[in-house]
Amino acid sequence: MYRVRKVLNHNAVIVLEPDEKREYLILGKGVGFGRKIAERIEAGPEDTVYSLQQTSERGSAREIARSVNPECLEIAGAVLNEAARVFGNIDRRILFPMADHLDFAVRRLRNGEEIRNPLNQDIQIMFHSEYKVALSAVPMLRRAFQIEISEDEIGFLALHVHTAIEDEKVSEALQTAQLVRFCISMIEQETGQHIEVMSLRYNRMMNHIRYMVTRILTEEPLHMNLNDYMRHTYPSSYTIAAKVCDELGRMMKRPVQEAETGYLAMHIERVIEKN
* 171-274 CATH pick, 3.40.50.620, 1.20.1090.10, 1.10.10.10, 1.10.1790.10: 1.10.1790.10
- Please, where in the chain does CATH 1.10.1790.10 lie? 54-167, 171-274
CATH architecture of 1-53: Roll (2.30)
Cα end-to-end distance, the chain, whole Å: 65
Crossing angle, helix 70-87 and helix 137-145, to 10 degrees?
160
Q: Are 48 and 26 in contact (CB under 8 A)?
A: yes
Question: Domain 54-167 belongs to what topology?
Answer: PTS-regulatory domain, PRD (1.10.1790)
Query: 263: closest CA among 222, 233, 232, 235?
Result: 222
**What's residue 223's pLDDT?**
83
Q: Are 2 and 15 in contact (CB under 8 A)?
A: yes
**What's residue 275's pLDDT?**
53
**What's residue 257's pLDDT?**
93
Strand-pair category, 12-17 with 22-27? antiparallel
- Please, where in the chain does CATH 2.30.24.10 lie? 1-53
How far is the CA of 274 from the CAs of 3, 164, 180, 195, 271, in angstroms? 65, 37, 20, 10, 5
Q: What is the pLDDT along the chain (275 residues), one digit of tens a residue?
A: 899 999 999 999 999 987 768 999 999 999 999 999 989 999 999 999 999 998 877 789 999 999 999 999 999 999 999 999 999 999 999 999 999 999 999 999 998 887 888 899 999 999 999 999 999 999 999 999 999 999 999 999 999 999 999 888 888 899 999 999 999 999 999 999 888 888 888 888 999 999 999 999 989 988 889 999 999 999 999 999 999 999 999 999 999 999 999 999 999 998 877 65
Query: 164: closest CA among 222, 84, 251, 85?
Result: 84
Crossing angle, helix 259-274 and helix 235-252, to 10 degrees?
120
Distance, in Å, from the CA atom of 129 to the CA atom of 245, rounded to the nearest integer, reads: 28
Query: What is the amino acid identity at position 143?
Result: R
Q: Is 112 helix (H, G, I), strand (E, B) or coil?
A: coil
